[in-house]
Amino acid sequence: MIHAKSLIIDEEVAEVGAANYDMRSFRLNYEVCEFIYSKDVARDLTEQFEQDLNDSVPLRMEDLLQRTPSQRLMQQGARLRSTIF
C-alpha cells in the first residue's frame, strides 16, 4: 500500500506528499508536500499512477466475507491501534 498522495495539475505541475486535504489534518498534523514545476515529472508520475492502477487488485465484498478467523482477528487488532475509527 502506498500512503503518499500525488496531484497532477494541467500535465505540468506535480504535488507529492503525505498531507491529507481536510480540516482535521490541517489543524492536527504536521505533514509536508512538495510542488514540482516540471512537465517531465508530471508525465512520469502520471505514467507511474497508471501502471499502479493496472497492477492493482480490486477489493470486493465477497473477498472480505471469505476472510479466515485469524485474518479477521488481526484486522480488528490493527483497527484498535488506529487513531481514526
Output the tens digit of pLDDT for each of the chain's 85 residues.
567 788 999 999 999 988 887 887 778 877 788 999 999 999 999 999 999 999 999 989 999 999 999 999 998 888 887 766 5
Q: Any idea where the domains of the chain sit in the sequence?
A: 5-81
DSSP string, 18-85: S---SHHHHHH----EEEEE-HHHHHHHHHHHHHHHHH-----HHHHHT--HHHHHHHHHHHHH-S--
Pairing of β 33-37 and β 5-9:
unpaired
